[in-house]
Structure 1
Amino acid sequence: MRAALVKEYGPPEGLTIEEVADLVPGPGEVVIEVGAVSVNFPDILVVEGTYQNLPQRPFSPGKEAAGRVVAVGEGVGRVAVGQRVLALVEYGGYAEQLVAPENVVVELPDAVSYSDAAAFGLAYSTAHLGLRERAQMKAGETVLVTGAGGGVGSAAVQLAKAWGATVIALAEDDEKADLARRQGADVTLTSSAESLRDDILAATGGRGVDVTLEMLGGDFLIQVIRASAWEGRVVIVGFASGGQTPIKPGHILVKNISLVGLQSSDYHSRTPEHVRSALSEIFELSQQGRISSCIDTSFTLDQVGAGLQYVKDGRARGKVVVTTGLG
């Protein structure tokens, strides 16, 4: 099989495409012939060697892949050879084959393509876990999504709207704001950190927001906390702005605000059944036409370095996938 390999940490263009041995499943594992894999920002950190979880080199990055099961190991009983599946893993997706534990594999409905499944995988399950598991979002609440032009942000806007929320989307620029609007956002903002609190309060009649899925960090997080409603919940997903400004406990205390974190990959290893359940609901919502994968563009396996650079440069308007040609 062919695989994109990290031999030395560095820029995405340093990935090499090589022939490697076909994979063999161990006990409890399955081998998947990959049809599509999604590009996620953590993949860039993995390639550059700055991610918190790095395997021994050489290895293939890629945290989610959709395809067809071609082999199963001893003890596998939930999936079978020939099934269409999606797997969420720590690495290994940028290849023509992927080996994955059975418990992180979810079956695909026939109506969901490999590209759509890969685009849904990590981003949409992260948004699902953030809104449902960590924030306990309810219909009728007001939800703020920061970083709304990215993969998780786009997913959160659509899911919150599908579940009956009023959605406010904070986007980097007018183009990404327009994307969020088309995905169902009721209000779109392109605020700076300095104006964010006032803009949110203006958009909510001074009440503030019930739930925030927060991906920017720094001063944006501070202003989001200050613009939360009484008993608001803020779920921290990332720090895309690069800042980790100290938080004042008084801002949390005076309105009984809950500030919680989300490391979605922990759910893959600790409670994979939650992830499988989330993805099953995501696929169902897709088939009902209530959400879409929002794929911006795709690259071939030979172009994987360019696909990573496309995301790193901030050019993506939605999800980016890498395809292998498997139909």
Structure 2
Amino acid sequence: MRAAIVKDFGPIASHMAGDLPDPTARAGEVLITIKATAVNFVDSLVVTGKYQFLPQRPFAPGKLPAGEIAALGEGVSGFKVGDHVLALAEQGGYAQKIAVDAKQCFKLPPTMSFGEAASMALVYDTSWFALRERARIQAGDSVLVLGSTGGVGLASVQLAKAMGAKVLAGVSTAAKAPLAMEAGADDIVDLSQPNLRDSLREQVFAKNGGKGVDIVIDPIGGDAFDAALRALAWRGRLVVIGFASGRIPEVKVNYLLLKNIEVTGLQVSDYRKRMPEMMAECMREIFALYEAGKLKPATFETRPLDAFAEALQEVVDRRAHGRIVLEPNP
């Protein structure tokens, strides 16, 4: 089968497409013909050897592919050949086929395309766990989403609104504000303002009734984290998802004590491994909200499998407009 192949960890451009042996479905597994896999920033960490969980080489990168079941392994029930599914695979999505534990597969809603499923994968489940599990969101909460026009950011804006929250969207430039508003944000916080340490809090207070926000979703880190921490309300919760800015911030814990606030982290792949029942709950709610018209996947463009390196570099360089989805079997 055709696949992106990582033989040795290194720069994105050093990896090329080639041929790997076709996988087969063992007991408890399903074989999937992959139709779509999103290109995610985290894939760049995997192929360069910077991710916390690294596969044995050679391997095909790519998380959470969507496709059609081609064969069932011994003992598999609840699925049939031809079913359209999303697979919660940690790698192997940049390929034409994959064999996955059937328990890690979820049937797609009838109206959801493979491209939509792939573009929603990883970002919506990450956002769901950040909001539902780590931040314990309640209807009526106020939520500040940093990096609101990235994949996780847009998903967090939509999910927070669907869960009954007031949403402030943090944007790096005014040009990105319409995208966040289209996703359902109630107002905008401009992260490009000078003296962000003070200006972020001033904007939040001005747009949230003179008080801080209950929840901050942060995939950025760096200066935005430092400023957002000061914009939390009493008993507020800040969820750390990543450090797209490049700087990993530090916290003076006396500040947490004085304001009774929480800083918590999210590594969503741990939930796939440790709490599959909660992951199933997550996918059920996401699919139900999609079918109810409350979630709309971000725009995406498709690329052939052999263009994976260029696509991944675009994502890393923040040149991508919306999501990029690979089509291994167009």
Band the TM-score falls in, shorter-chain normalisation: over 0.9
Please give the alpha-carbon distance, in whole angstroms, between the structure 2 residues aligned to 1:227 and 1:7.
Answer: 45
1:160 counterpart residue number? 160
Judge conservation of contact 1:225–1:251 (CA < 8 Å) in 2: no
SS in 2 for 1:64: coil
1:131 counterpart residue number? 131
2:254 counterpart residue number? 250
Judge conservation of contact 1:115–1:321 (CA < 8 Å) in 2: yes
**Normalized against structure 1, the TM-score is what?**
0.95
Amino acid at match of 1:284: A
Please tell me whether residue 277 in structure 1 is matched to residue 281 in structure 2.
yes
2:43 counterpart residue number? 43
Please tell me whether residue 150 in structure 1 is matched to residue 150 in structure 2.
yes
Please tell me whether residue 91 in structure 1 is matched to residue 95 in structure 2.
no
5 Å-filtered alignment, 1:222-241, equals: 222-241=226-245
Deviation per CA, 1:193-228, whole angstroms, max 9, x where unpaired?
A: 432222222222331001111111123222212111
SS in 2 for 1:18: strand
Please give the alpha-carbon distance, in whole angstroms, between the structure 2 residues aligned to 1:30 and 1:75.
Answer: 10
1:196 counterpart residue number? 200
Amino acid at match of 2:87: A
Amino acid at match of 2:261: I
Judge conservation of contact 2:191–2:224 (CA < 8 Å) in 1: no
Judge conservation of contact 1:150–1:317 (CA < 8 Å) in 2: no
Deviation per CA, 1:7-35, whole angstroms, max 9, x where unpaired?
A: 23233232222222211122222111000
Amino acid at match of 2:205: L
The Cα of 1:75 is off from its aligned counterpart by 2.6
Please give the alpha-carbon distance, in whole angstroms, between the structure 1 residues aligned to 2:212 and 2:320.
Answer: 30
1:2 counterpart residue number? 2
Match of 1:264 among 254, 257, 268: 268
Judge conservation of contact 2:96–2:329 (CA < 8 Å) in 1: no
The Cα of 1:306 is off from its aligned counterpart by 1.5
253-262 vs 180-189, which moves further: 253-262
The Cα of 1:289 is off from its aligned counterpart by 1.8
1:321 counterpart residue number? 325
SS in 2 for 1:283: helix
280-289 vs 102-111, which moves further: 280-289
The Cα of 1:280 is off from its aligned counterpart by 2.2
Judge conservation of contact 1:154–1:318 (CA < 8 Å) in 2: no
The Cα of 1:131 is off from its aligned counterpart by 0.4
SS in 1 for 2:180: helix
Please give the alpha-carbon distance, in whole angstroms, between the structure 2 residues aligned to 1:278 and 1:317.
Answer: 27
The Cα of 1:189 is off from its aligned counterpart by 1.9
Please give the alpha-carbon distance, in whole angstroms, between the structure 2 residues aligned to 1:237 and 1:85.
Answer: 26
245-254 vs 165-174, which moves further: 245-254
Judge conservation of contact 1:299–1:322 (CA < 8 Å) in 2: yes
Kindly report the root-mean-square deviation, in angstroms, between the aligned alpha carbons of the 2 structures. Answer: 1.5
The Cα of 1:88 is off from its aligned counterpart by 1.5
Deviation per CA, 1:265-285, whole angstroms, max 9, x where unpaired?
A: 001111122222212221222
**Normalized against structure 2, the TM-score is what?**
0.94
Please give the alpha-carbon distance, in whole angstroms, between the structure 1 residues aligned to 2:167 and 2:148.
Answer: 11
1:186 counterpart residue number? 186
1:29 counterpart residue number? 29
1:175 counterpart residue number? 175
Please tell me whether residue 81 in structure 1 is matched to residue 94 in structure 2.
no
67-76 vs 228-237, which moves further: 67-76
Amino acid at match of 1:269: K
Please tell me whether residue 295 in structure 1 is matched to residue 274 in structure 2.
no
Judge conservation of contact 1:62–1:91 (CA < 8 Å) in 2: yes
Where in structure 1 are there 5+ consecutive unaligned residues? none
69-78 vs 113-122, which moves further: 69-78
Judge conservation of contact 1:176–1:317 (CA < 8 Å) in 2: no
Identity %: 45
5 Å-filtered alignment, 1:100-111, equals: 100-111=100-111
The Cα of 1:72 is off from its aligned counterpart by 2.1
The Cα of 1:83 is off from its aligned counterpart by 1.1
139-148 vs 184-193, which moves further: 184-193
Deviation per CA, 1:45-92, whole angstroms, max 9, x where unpaired?
A: 111121111112111000110001112222322323221100112110
The Cα of 1:149 is off from its aligned counterpart by 1.3
Judge conservation of contact 2:94–2:328 (CA < 8 Å) in 1: no
Amino acid at match of 1:29: E
Judge conservation of contact 2:151–2:322 (CA < 8 Å) in 1: yes
38-47 vs 312-321, which moves further: 312-321
The Cα of 1:6 is off from its aligned counterpart by 1.1
